[in-house]
C-alpha cells in the first residue's frame, strides 16, 4: 500500500496533487532514503544492536564474576533466566512498589497540576502569572541527581528543613530516610516537586486551546466555575490527561537518578523501584543473564505502553 495523504495536514498536500501516487513529482523515490539513512543507521546500531545483544545474553548463564561461567563460554540455558525472574519475589515486589509509587505521585500531580494550570489561566496579576509560569521550568531543568542530593539534605534527620516545616505544624521530627514509610514519602515529595510543573504546563496548554469566544460565552451563561471547568474546559484537557498518564508511567519505570542518590533503594527495599533493582542485579551481583532477562521484560512492558501512547496521540500522521 502506498501511503494515503488524506490524514496529512492540508498544507503538505501539494506534493500529492495531480494523482501522483506512485510517481512523485520533483524527487526520486530514493531521495527520502538519503535524508533518513544517517539517523536510522545511527539509532539502529546504537539502540537495536545492544538490544539484540541483551536478548542473546538473556538466554545464557552469564555471570562475569563467576569463573565457571566464563570457562564454559557462558552456556545457553534457554528460558531459565526468564523463569528465574518470573519466580523472583524481589522482581515482583519491585514492580509492585513501582506501581504503588505511580499511584502515589500521579494523582497528586494531576490535582496540583490542574489547580496550578487554572490559576495560571485565570486573568489578572499578569506579571506574577508570567513569573510563576517561567519558574515552573526550574524543577524540570534541574539535574535529577542533584534533585536527589537536595532531597538528602532537606530530609536529613538532624538538620533537614523538612523536620522544621513539620515542627511548625506541630509534628515531631523524624528520621525520614531512615525508615521505610518516611523514605517512600520523601521520594514521592521530590517527584511531585519535579514533575507537577510538567503536568501543570500540559493542562495549561490544553486550557489555552479553548476558543476565547466559547469560554466568554460560557462565562456569561454560568457563574459556576465548576460548570465552566466540567463542560467547557475539561474536554480540551482530556488529551493532555491521557498523555500525562502514559508519559508518567514510562517515566516512573525509568526513574533512577533521584532515587539512587537519595536512598539507593533503601532502607531495606522500601524504595527499591524497578530500575534500581535491575541495576543492582546487573552491576552489583553481575548476573548479566538474569539482569538482561529483567531488562527485556521491562522493555516489553515499555513497548506496550509506548504503542498505547502512540496509538492514542499520533494517529494523525498514519
Partner 1 sequence: MMDATRIRSLLHALGLFVVLAFALFPFYWMVTSSLKDQTELLASPPVWFFHPTLANYMDIFADTKVTAAVVNSLIVAVSTTLLSVVLGTPAAYALARFEFRGKADLWFWFISNRMISPIVLALPVYLLSRQVGLLNTHLVLVLIYLTFNLPIVVWICTDQFRSIPPDLEQSARLEGASQFDIFWRIYLPLGLPGVAVSAIFAFIFSWNELLYALVLITSQGLKTAPVVATNFMSGYELPWGKIMATGTVIVLPVTIFAMLVSRHMIRGLTMGATK
Round to the nearest angstrom and report the end-to-end CA distance of the chain.
12
Residues from 181 through 210 that contact partner 1 (CB under 8 A): 190, 193, 197-198, 201-202, 204-206, 209
The stretch near partner 1 (CB under 8 A) out of 77-85, 124-132, 180-188, 213-221 is: 124-132
Q: Applying CB under 8 A, which of residues 244, 248, 265, 271 lies at the interface with partner 1?
A: 244
Nearer to partner 1 (CB atom), residue 158 or residue 213: 158
Q: Does 245 bind partner 1 (CB under 8 A)?
A: no
Cβ atoms of residues 79 and 59 within 8 Å: yes
Residues from 126 through 145 that contact partner 1 (CB under 8 A): 128-129, 131-145
> How many residues make contact with partner 1 (CB under 8 A)?
119
Other beta carbons less than 10 A from residue 16's beta carbon: 16
Residues from 286 through 305 that contact partner 1 (CB under 8 A): 288, 291-292, 295-296, 298-299, 302-303, 305
Q: Does 40 bind partner 1 (CB under 8 A)?
A: yes
Q: Applying CB under 8 A, which of residues 239, 266, 267, 269 lies at the interface with partner 1?
A: 239
Encode 126-180 in three state secondary structure: HHHHHHHHHHCHHHHHCCHHHHHHHHHHHCCCCCCHHHHHHHHCCCCCCCHHHCH
Other beta carbons less than 10 A from residue 160's beta carbon: 21
Sign of the four-CA dihedral 47, 52, 57, 59: positive
Over the window 57 to 86, marking each residue x when it contacts partner 1 by CB under 8 A and - when it does not, the resulting string is x-----------------------------
Q: Applying CB under 8 A, which of residues 187, 210, 240, 272 lies at the interface with partner 1?
A: 240
- Nearest residue to 59 via CA among 44, 40, 76, 37: 76
Amino acid at each position: 500500500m502506498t501511503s494515503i495523504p488524506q490524514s496529512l495536514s492540508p498544507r503538505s498536500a501539494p506534493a500529492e496533487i495531480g494523482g501522483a501516487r506512485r510517481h512523485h513529482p520533483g524527487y526520486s523515490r530514493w531521495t527520502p532514503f538519503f535524508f533518513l539513512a544517517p539517523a536510522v543507521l545511527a539509532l539502529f546500531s546504537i539502540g537495536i544492536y545492544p538490544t539484540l545483544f541483551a536478548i542473546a545474553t538473556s538466554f545464557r548463564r552469564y555471570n562475569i564474576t563467576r569463573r565457571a561461567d566464563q570457562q564454559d563460554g557462558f552456556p545457553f540455558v534457554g528460558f531459565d533466566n526468564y523463569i528465574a525472574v518470573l519466580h523472583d519475589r524481589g522482581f515482583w515486589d519491585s514492580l509492585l512498589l513501582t506501581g504503588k509509587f505511580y499511584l502515589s505521585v500521579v494523582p497528586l500531580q494531576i490535582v496540583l497540576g490542574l489547580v496550578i494550570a487554572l490559576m495560571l489561566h485565570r486573568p489578572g496579576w499578569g506579571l506574577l502569572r508570567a513569573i510563576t509560569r517561567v519558574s515552573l521550568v526550574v524543577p524540570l531543568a534541574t539535574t535529577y541527581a542533584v534533585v536527589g542530593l537536595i532531597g538528602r539534605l532537606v530530609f536529613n534527620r538532624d538538620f533537614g528543613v523538612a523536620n522544621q516545616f513539620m515542627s511548625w505544624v506541630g509534628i515531631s521530627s523524624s528520621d525520614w530516610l531512615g525508615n521505610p514509610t518516611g523514605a517512600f514519602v520523601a521520594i514521592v515529595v521530590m517527584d511531585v516537586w519535579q514533575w507537577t510543573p510538567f503536568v501543570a504546563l500540559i493542562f495549561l496548554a490544553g486550557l489555552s486551546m479553548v476558543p476565547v469566544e466559547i469560554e466568554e460565552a460560557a462565562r456569561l451563561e454560568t457563574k459556576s466555575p465548576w460548570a465552566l471547568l466540567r463542560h467547557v474546559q475539561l474536554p480540551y484537557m482530556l488529551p493532555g490527561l491521557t498523555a500525562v498518564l502514559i508519559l508518567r508511567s514510562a517515566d516512573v519505570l525509568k526513574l533512577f537518578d533521584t532515587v539512587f542518590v537519595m536512598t539507593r533503594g533503601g532502607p531495606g527495599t522500601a524504595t527499591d523501584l524497578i530500575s534500581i533493582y535491575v541495576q543492582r542485579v546487573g552491576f552489583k551481583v553481575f548476573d548479566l543473564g538474569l539482569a538482561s532477562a529483567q531488562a527485556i521484560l521491562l522493555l516489553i512492558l515499555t513497548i506496550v505502553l509506548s504503542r498505547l501512547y502512540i496509538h492514542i496521540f499520533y494517529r494523525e500522521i498514519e
